[in-house]
C-alpha cells in the first residue's frame, strides 16, 4: 500500500513536495530534537487523490490516518474524545510553498461537551477549558461548517455589553459556558444540525475542508499572483495542541531571526501573553515586541533565542518562527524561510557571507532580481516640509502617494483604472488581498509588524504601515480622524513605510541610490557573470543613470526620440513635408548639429563604453499631427476663416498626412525601408555620429560606435544601408582628417531575418535581437491592440502562460533567436550578439539569453542592477555550460 501519512519523526526538510513546507519543517525540527508537539502529516498526494476521487478521502488514506492517530495517542498518553484525559489537536494546512494566511487552520479539535469538562478538571482551570471550547466552536464552524464568524462575534459583543465587560479576559468560566450555549444555538440555526460532538467526525470533516481550502478564492488568487501551480495540492498536519492561553505564564508569538524589513541581525518579533494561535497575526490585540519577553520570562527567552540561532545555522537562512509558551515551557510550532524586503534580502545575504554561514554564490542566488525593483524606486524627499499626521509601525519600506480608500473592492476597481490609492483599514484579512495588490500602499490602525497586512505587503514590495493607533477609522462615514484632522475618502495622503509616517497631501520623491551592501553584492555578481549587461538609453541623462547603475554599454539608443523634442518637431516636419530633395536636405542640415550634440552627450556619459545607435525606425507620420484632429481644424477654418493662410497651410499638411497614412503602420514604411527610400535621412544620422566622434577625439575620448540598421528582412537591404554608412564615414573622414573604428550591424526583429541570418551575417558585424518587434511579428500581434483587447483574457484562460511582451516566449520567439545566433555564428564565428527588447531586463529571459550564447542583454537603466544579478544567477545555475564567447562588456 502506498504511504500517505507520515509521523513527524518519519520525515525531513527535503520532503517538502510530499509533506508541504510546514510538515517537512516540523519533521526536520522534530529530528534535530527541538520541542515540537508531536503529530503527523497527511501528504500532498492525498490531496490530489482526494480531488481525483471526486472530493472523497479514500479508505486507504482513512485507514492510515487512524493508525497515525493511534500512534499519536500512544506517544502523548492521551486519547481523542477521552473525557478524563483528552487529546486535542490542531489541523493545519501546509502547501509546498508557504502561502501566508491563505489556508485555514483549526485549533483545539477534539473538544466537545464532555472533554471540555475533563479539561477543566484536569487543568483545574475551567475558564481556560471553556475559552478553548468556544474558540474551537467558532473556528470549526467558520472553516468547516461555513457559518460566518460575524454571528459569533455579534453574540459575544452583545454579551460583553450586557455584562459590562470591556475585553475577553474579563469573562469567567460561567460566562463562557453561557456564550458556548449561544454559539451552539447559532450553529443549529444556521446549519440545521447540532454542532458535531464526535471527535473523529470532527477530524475528518476538518481534513476534508483543508483539502477544500486549496481551492478557495484567496488561495487561488495568491497562487496566480505568485505563479504557484494549481496541481501541487496541500498537505494536512495533525498536531497535538499546546496552550498559550492558560493564563499569564503562557503566551504565543512569532519571530524572525533577523529584521525582515532592514536585514539587521537582531531577533525581531512579537508575542501576546495568555493568547492562542492566530491572535498575534490577526491583529486583534496589538502585541508586545519580543525584546520585552527577555525581562518577563528570562529563561524562556534565553531558550528561544538559542533555538532561533540554532534554526538559522541549521537552515543557513533567516527563519520565521512560531512559538507558544505553555505554563513557562517553550514549544516551537513552525519554522520557514522568512519573507523579507529587498533591502533585507541583500543585507542578510551579504552579512551571512561575512559571518561564514554561506558562500558568495549562495548569496547571489538568495536575492530575487525581481525584488530589486523595490530599491530602485523613488523615496520621499527629506528636505521637503511635511504635514505630519501620525506615526505607525514601519511595516514595509517604500514611499507612496494616493487617495484614501477604505474598501478592498474599491481599491481594486480604482487601482485597475490606473488611479493611485492607499488602502486604509482597521486590519486586513486574506480576503482583502485583491485590494492590497491594486493599492499603492496599505495602512492599518491595528496589528503588529507580523500582521497579515505587513507580511503580504512586504512580500509584494509594497509600502505598509501597521498598528497606527492614532488613526480613528470610521468606515460608515468613510473617513478617519487623527486628533482634530479629518481625512475623507478620496483625500490624498503620502506614507513612508520605512519610518511609519503618514502625511497629508503629496510629497515629492527623490531618486534611489544603491546601498553599500547592494553595491558589494553587485560587484560579486559582476565577478560571477559571463553575460554582458547594457542599457537602453536615448539621451545623455539616461546614459548617465545607466552608467551609474553599472551598465557596460548602451545596447540600444533610439534616435527617433531625439526627433520628438518639441523644439525639433517643426524642423522634422519641414523635412517630411519637403516637396523636393533640396528642401529636405536643408531641413536635415538643420537637424544634423542637434543629433550630433545628442551623440556627443551620450558618448561622453558612457566614457568610451560601446554604444549601439539605431538609425531612424518609426514611420514618418508619427512626427505629424493626428489626422482626425487636423481634419477638425481644417473644417473649422473652412467655415470660420476660409481665406486664411493658416487654412492653406493646414490643408497642405492634411494632404501629406493622408499620403503617409497607412493601413498597418507596424508593417508599413518604417525601419530600414525609410532609409532605402529616403537615404538622405540615414546619411544625415550617420554623419552626425561620425562628426560627434571626430569632435570627441579632439578631447581625447575614443569612441567605437555600433551603428544599427533596424527592421532588416532581406540581406540586400542591409547591404545597401551598410554601404551608405561606410560612404558617410569616408566623407567625414575626408572632411575632418580623422579615421573611424566602428561596427555596422542590424536588429533582428523580422522572422525572415532570423531564418536567413547566415546571409545577413555576411553584411553584419553584430546582431541585436529586437525582441519587442520580434514578438509582434512572430505572433502576428500588434502589441497595443493585443494588450488592450485579448491578451489579458488569453493569460487568464491559460491560452498563453505569460504575457510574451514581458517574458520571452522561448518556444517560438526564442527559437528564432536561437536560429539567428546559430546561423549567424556559422557564417561569422566572431559575430557579436545581444538582445535589446524589454525582455533584456526580465530574469527568465536573461537566463534564456545566457543559455543561447548571447554576449549581452540590454534593458532600461533602472533594470540594469537586476539584470547584472540575474546574469550572475544564470551563470552560477548553469556552471557546466561552456561559453563559446567571452563577453566583451
Active site residue ranges: 452, 836
Rounded to an integer, what distance in angstroms lies between the CA atom of residue 535 and that of residue 151? 58
Least spacing, CB of residue 394 vs Mg ion, in Å: 23
Residues shown for the chain:
889
CA distance 441 to 494: 9
Q: Which does 87 bind (CB under 5 to 8 A by kind): ligand ADP, Mg ion, none?
A: none
Selected from 13, 41, 44, 90, the binder of ligand ADP by CB under 6 A is 90
Q: Can you tell me the distance from the alpha carbon of 431 to that of 445, in angstroms, rounded to the nearest whole number?
A: 17
Q: Compare residues 37 and 675 and give the one whose CB is closer to ligand ADP.
A: 37
Choose the binding region for ligand ADP from 100-108, 170-178, 194-202, 378-386 (rule: CB under 6 A): 100-108
Residue 277 is a binding residue for ligand ADP (CB under 6 A): yes
The residues, ordered by sequence, that sit 6+ positions from 373 with a Cβ below 8 Å of its Cβ are: 342, 461, 862, 863, 866
Chosen from ligand ADP, Mg ion, none, partner binding at 749 (C-beta under 5 to 8 Å by type): Mg ion
Q: Is 162 exposed, middle or buried (0-12, 13-18, 19+ CB in 10 A)?
A: exposed
**Which x/- pattern, by CB under 6 A, does the window 103-122 give for ligand ADP?**
--x-x---------------
706-735 binders of ligand ADP (CB under 6 A): none
Q: What is the DSSP string of 212-276?
A: HHTTSHHHHHHHHHHT--GGG-EEEEEEE---S-SSTT-EEEEEESS-TTT--SS-EEEEEES--
Helix (H) or strand (E) holding 734: helix 715-736
Q: Which does 412 bind (CB under 5 to 8 A by kind): Mg ion, ligand ADP, none?
A: none
Contact status, residue 256 vs residue 318, Cβ threshold 8 Å: yes
Residue whose CB is less far from Mg ion, 440 or 450? 450
Among the listed ranges 50-58, 237-245, 258-266, 635-643, the one in contact with ligand ADP (CB under 6 A) is 237-245
Binding flag, residue 334, ligand ADP (CB under 6 A): yes
Question: How far is the C-alpha of 322 from the C-alpha of 334, rounded, in Å?
Answer: 5
**Burial grade of 827 (CB within 10 A; 0-12, 13-18, 19 or more):** middle
Nearest residue to Mg ion, by Cβ distance, number only:
773
Query: For 167, phi and psi rounded to 5 degrees?
Result: -145, 165
CB of 31 to ligand ADP, least distance (A): 18
Which of ligand ADP, Mg ion, none sits in contact with 770, Cβ below 5 to 8 A by type? Answer: Mg ion
**Does 770 participate in binding Mg ion (rule CB under 5 A)?**
yes
State the Cα–Cα distance between residues 174 and 158, nearest whole angstrom.
Answer: 16
Task: Give me the 318-347 binding string for Mg ion, x by CB under 5 A, dash otherwise.
Answer: ----------------x-------------
State the binding partner of 773 from ligand ADP, Mg ion, none, CB within 5 to 8 A by kind: Mg ion
The helix-helix angle for 342-354 and 516-528 (nearest 10°) equals 70
Does 242 interact with ligand ADP (rule: CB under 6 A)?
yes
Please identify, using beta-carbon distances, which residue of 327 and 472 lies nearer to ligand ADP: 327
Q: Which of residues 750-809 bind ligand ADP (CB under 6 A)?
A: none
Cα–Cα separations (whole angstroms), residue 163 to 158, 170, 176, 519: 9, 10, 12, 61
Q: Which residues contact 303 (CB under 8 A, 6 or more apart)?
A: 330
241, 433, 562, 692: residue in contact with ligand ADP (rule CB under 6 A) = 241
- Tell me the window of 266-274, 630-638, 660-668, 767-775 that interacts with Mg ion (CB under 5 A): 767-775
Contact call for residue 278 and ligand ADP (CB under 6 A): yes
Contact 502, 826 (CB under 8 A): no
**Closest separation in Å from C-beta 801 to ligand ADP:** 28
Write down the least CB distance from residue 531 to ligand ADP, Å: 39
Say whether residue 142 binds ligand ADP (CB under 6 A): no
Task: Tally Cβ neighbours within 10 Å of residue 596.
Answer: 21
283, interface contact from Mg ion, ligand ADP, none, CB < 5-8 Å by kind: none
In whole angstroms, the minimum distance from the beta carbon of 90 to ligand ADP comes to: 3
- 177 vs 240 by CB, closer to ligand ADP: 240
Q: How far is the CB of 322 from ligand ADP (least distance, A)?
A: 4
d(CA 271, CA 266): 16
Decide: is 104 part of the binding site for Mg ion (CB under 5 A): no
Cα–Cα distance list, 826 to 351, 722, 757, 829 (Å): 46, 21, 9, 6
CA Rg value for the chain? 33
Using CB under 6 A, pick the residue from 81, 101, 196, 837 that binds ligand ADP: 101
Closest distance of CB 106 from ligand ADP, Å:
9
**Closest CB to ligand ADP among 214 and 518?**
214
Which residue from 104, 749, 838, 847 is in contact with Mg ion, where contact means CB under 5 A?
749
Give the integer Cα–Cα distance in Å for 373 and 869: 12
Stretch that binds ligand ADP, among 182-190, 192-200, 238-246, 808-816 (CB under 6 A): 238-246
The single residue among 11, 21, 23, 37 that binds ligand ADP, judged by CB under 6 A, is 37
Q: Which is nearer to ligand ADP, 271 or 850 (CB)?
A: 271
CB 832 to ligand ADP: min, Å: 51
The CA-atom distances, in angstroms, between 215 and each of 211, 233, 250, 408, 795 are 8, 9, 35, 21, 19
For Mg ion, give the closer residue by CB, 141 or 334: 334
Pattern 175-204, Mg ion, x by CB under 5 A: ------------------------------
**Total of chain residues touching Mg ion, rule CB under 5 A:** 4
CB of 93 to Mg ion, least distance (A): 10
Which one of 28-36, 492-500, 658-666, 763-771 is the stretch in contact with Mg ion (CB under 5 A)?
A: 763-771
The pairs formed by 772-775 with CB atoms below 8 angstroms and a separation of 24 or more are: 772/805, 772/837, 772/838, 772/839, 773/711, 773/747, 773/749, 773/837, 774/748, 774/749, 774/750, 774/813, 774/816, 774/817, 774/837, 775/804, 775/805, 775/808, 775/809, 775/813, 775/837
Nearest approach, Cβ of residue 749 and Mg ion (Å)? 5
> Which residue among 324, 343, 873, 875 contacts ligand ADP (CB under 6 A)?
324
Distance from first CA to last CA of the chain, Å, rounded? 58
Interatomic CA distance for residues 885 and 876, integer angstroms: 17
Nearer to Mg ion, 130 or 243 (CB): 243
Distance separating alpha carbons of residues 214 and 230, to the nearest angstrom = 9
Residue ranges with strand state E in 615-684: none
Residue 50: which of 229, 209, 221 has the closest Cα?
209
> Quick one: 253 or 435, whose CB is closer to ligand ADP?
253
- C-alpha span between 650 and 657 (Å, rounded): 10
Partner interacting with residue 787 (select from ligand ADP, Mg ion, none; CB below 5-8 Å by kind): none
Segment contacting ligand ADP (CB under 6 A): 188-196, 239-247, 356-364, 415-423? Answer: 239-247
Closer of 666 and 800 to Mg ion (Cβ)? 666
Residues 454, 268: contact at Cβ < 8 Å? Answer: no
Q: How far is the CB of 210 from Mg ion (least distance, A)?
A: 13
For residue 374, count other CB atoms closer than 10 A to its CB.
20
688 binds, among ligand ADP, Mg ion, none (CB under 5 to 8 A by kind): none
212 or 542: CB nearest ligand ADP: 212
Binding site for ligand ADP (CB under 6 A): 37, 90, 92, 101, 105, 107, 239, 241-242, 277-278, 322, 324, 333-334
Binding site for Mg ion (CB under 5 A): 334, 749, 770, 773
Amino acid at each position: 500500500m502506498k504511504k500517505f501519512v507520515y509521523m513527524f519523526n518519519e520525515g525531513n526538510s527535503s520532503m517538502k513536495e510530499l509533506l508541504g513546507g510546514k510538515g517537512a519543517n516540523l519533521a526536520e525540527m522534530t529530528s534535530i530534537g527541538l520541542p515540537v508537539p508531536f503529530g503527523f502529516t497527511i501528504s500532498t498526494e492525498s490531496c490530489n487523490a482526494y480531488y481525483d476521487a471526486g472530493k472523497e478521502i479514500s479508505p486507504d488514506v482513512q485507514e492510515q490516518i487512524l493508525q497515525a492517530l493511534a500512534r499519536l495517542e500512544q506517544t502523548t498518553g492521551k486519547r481523542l474524545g477521552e473525557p478524563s484525559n483528552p487529546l486535542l489537536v490542531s489541523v493545519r494546512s501546509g502547501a509546498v510553498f508557504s502561502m501566508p494566511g491563505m489556508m485555514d487552520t483549526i485549533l483545539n479539535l477534539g473538544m466537545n461537551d464532555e472533554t471540555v469538562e475533563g479539561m477543566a478538571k484536569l487543568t483545574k482551570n475551567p475558564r481556560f477549558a471553556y475559552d478553548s471550547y468556544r474558540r474551537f466552536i467558532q473556528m470549526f464552524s467558520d472553516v468547516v461548517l461555513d457559518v460566518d464568524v460575524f454571528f459569533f462575534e455579534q453574540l459575544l459583543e452583545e454579551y460583553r455589553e450586557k455584562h459590562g465587560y470591556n475585553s475577553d479576559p474579563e469573562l469567567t468560566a460561567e460566562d463562557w459556558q453561557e456564550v458556548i450555549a449561544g454559539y451552539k444555538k447559532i450553529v443549529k440555526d444556521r446549519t440545521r444540525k447540532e454542532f458535531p460532538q464526535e471527535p473523529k467526525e470532527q477530524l475528518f470533516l476538518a481534513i476534508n475542508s483543508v483539502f477544500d481550502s486549496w481551492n478557495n478564492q484567496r488561495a487561488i488568487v495568491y497562487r496566480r499572483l505568485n505563479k504557484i501551480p494549481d496541481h501541487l495540492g496541500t498537505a494536512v498536519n495533525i498536531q497535538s495542541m499546546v496552550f498559550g492561553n492558560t493564563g499569564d505564564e503562557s503566551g504565543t508569538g512569532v519571530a524572525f531571526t533577523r529584521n525582515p524589513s532592514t536585514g539587521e541581525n537582531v531577533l525581531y518579533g512579537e508575542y501576546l501573553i495568555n493568547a492562542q494561535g492566530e491572535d498575534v497575526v490577526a491583529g486583534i490585540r496589538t502585541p508586545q515586541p519580543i525584546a520585552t519577553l527577555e525581562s518577563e520570562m528570562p529563561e524562556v527567552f534565553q531558550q528561544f533565542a538559542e533555538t532561533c540561532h540554532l534554526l538559522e545555522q541549521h537552515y543557513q537562512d533567516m527563519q520565521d518562527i512560531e512559538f507558544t509558551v505553555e505554563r513557562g515551557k517553550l514549544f516551537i510550532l513552525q519554522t520557514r524561510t522568512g519573507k523579507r524586503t529587498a533591502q533585507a534580502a541583500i543585507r542578510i545575504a551579504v552579512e551571512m557571507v561575512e559571518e561564514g554561514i554561506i558562500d558568495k554564490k549562495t548569496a547571489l542566488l538568495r536575492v530575487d532580481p525581481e525584488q530589486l525593483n523595490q530599491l530602485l524606486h523613488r523615496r520621499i524627499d527629506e528636505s521637503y516640509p511635511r504635514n505630519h499626521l501620525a506615526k505607525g509601525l514601519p511595516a514595509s519600506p517604500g514611499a507612496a502617494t494616493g487617495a484614501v480608500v477604505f474598501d478592498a473592492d474599491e481599491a481594486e476597481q480604482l487601482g485597475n483604472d490606473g488611479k493611485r490609492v492607499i488602502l486604509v483599514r482597521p486590519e486586513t484579512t486574506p480576503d482583502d488581498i485583491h485590494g492590497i495588490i491594486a493599492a499603492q500602499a496599505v495602512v492599518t490602525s491595528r496589528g503588529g509588524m507580523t500582521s497579515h497586512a505587513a507580511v503580504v505587503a512586504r512580500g509584494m514590495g509594497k509600502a505598509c504601515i501597521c498598528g497606527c493607533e492614532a488613526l480613528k477609522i470610521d468606515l460608515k462615514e468613510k473617513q478617519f480622524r487623527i486628533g482634530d484632522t479629518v481625512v475623507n475618502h478620496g483625500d490624498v495622503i503620502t506614507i513612508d513605510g520605512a519610518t511609519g509616517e503618514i502625511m497629508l497631501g503629496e510629497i515629492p520623491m527623490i531618486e534611489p541610490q544603491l546601498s553599500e551592501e547592494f553595491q558589494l553584492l553587485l560587484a560579486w555578481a559582476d565577478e560571477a557573470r559571463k553575460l554582458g549587461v547594457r542599457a537602453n538609453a536615448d539621451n545623455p541623462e539616461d546614459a548617465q543613470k545607466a552608467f551609474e547603475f553599472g551598465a557596460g554599454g548602451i545596447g540600444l539608443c533610439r534616435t527617433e526620440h531625439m526627433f520628438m523634442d518639441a523644439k525639433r518637431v517643426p524642423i522634422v516636419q519641414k523635412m517630411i513635408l519637403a516637396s523636393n530633395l533640396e528642401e529636405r536636405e536643408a531641413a536635415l542640415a538643420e537637424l544634423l548639429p542637434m543629433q550630433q550634440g545628442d551623440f556627443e552627450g551620450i558618448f561622453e556619459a558612457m566614457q568610451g563604453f560601446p554604444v549601439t545607435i539605431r538609425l531612424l525606425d518609426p514611420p514618418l507620420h508619427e512626427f505629424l499631427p493626428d489626422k482626425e484632429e487636423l481634419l477638425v481644424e481644417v473644417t473649422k477654418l473652412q467655415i470660420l476663416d476660409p481665406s486664411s493662410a493658416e487654412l492653406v497651410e493646414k490643408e497642405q499638411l492634411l494632404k501629406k498626412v493622408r499620403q503617409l497614412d497607412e493601413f498597418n503602420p507596424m508593417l508599413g514604411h518604417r525601419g530600414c525601408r525609410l532609409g532605402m527610400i529616403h537615404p538622405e535621412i540615414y546619411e544625415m544620422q550617420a554623419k552626425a555620429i561620425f562628426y560627434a566622434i571626430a569632435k570627441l577625439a579632439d578631447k581625447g575620448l575614443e569612441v567605437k560606435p555600433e551603428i544599427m540598421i533596424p527592421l532588416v528582412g532581406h540581406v540586400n537591404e542591409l547591404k545597401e544601408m551598410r554601404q551608405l554608412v561606410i560612404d558617410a564615414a569616408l566623407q567625414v573622414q575626408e572632411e575632418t582628417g580623422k579615421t573611424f573604428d566602428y561596427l555596422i550591424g542590424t536588429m533582428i526583429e523580422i522572422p525572415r531575418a532570423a531564418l536567413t541570418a547566415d546571409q545577413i551575417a555576411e553584411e553584419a558585424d553584430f546582431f541585436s535581437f529586437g525582441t519587442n518587434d520580434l514578438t509582434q511579428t512572430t505572433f502576428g500581434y500588434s502589441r497595443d491592440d493585443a494588450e488592450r483587447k485579448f491578451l489579458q483574457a488569453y493569460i487568464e484562460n491559460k491560452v498563453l502562460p505569460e504575457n510574451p511582451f514581458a517574458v520571452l516566449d522561448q518556444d517560438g520567439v526564442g527559437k528564432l533567436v536561437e536560429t539567428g545566433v546559430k546561423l549567424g555564428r556559422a557564417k561569422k564565428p566572431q559575430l557579436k550578439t545581444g538582445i535589446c527588447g524589454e525582455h533584456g531586463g526580465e530574469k527568465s529571459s536573461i537566463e534564456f539569453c545566457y543559455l543561447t550564447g548571447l554576449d549581452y542583454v540590454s534593458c532600461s537603466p533602472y533594470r540594469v542592477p537586476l539584470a547584472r544579478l540575474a546574469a550572475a544567477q544564470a551563470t552560477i545555475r548553469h556552471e557546466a555550460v561552456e561559453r563559446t564567447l567571452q563577453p566583451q562588456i
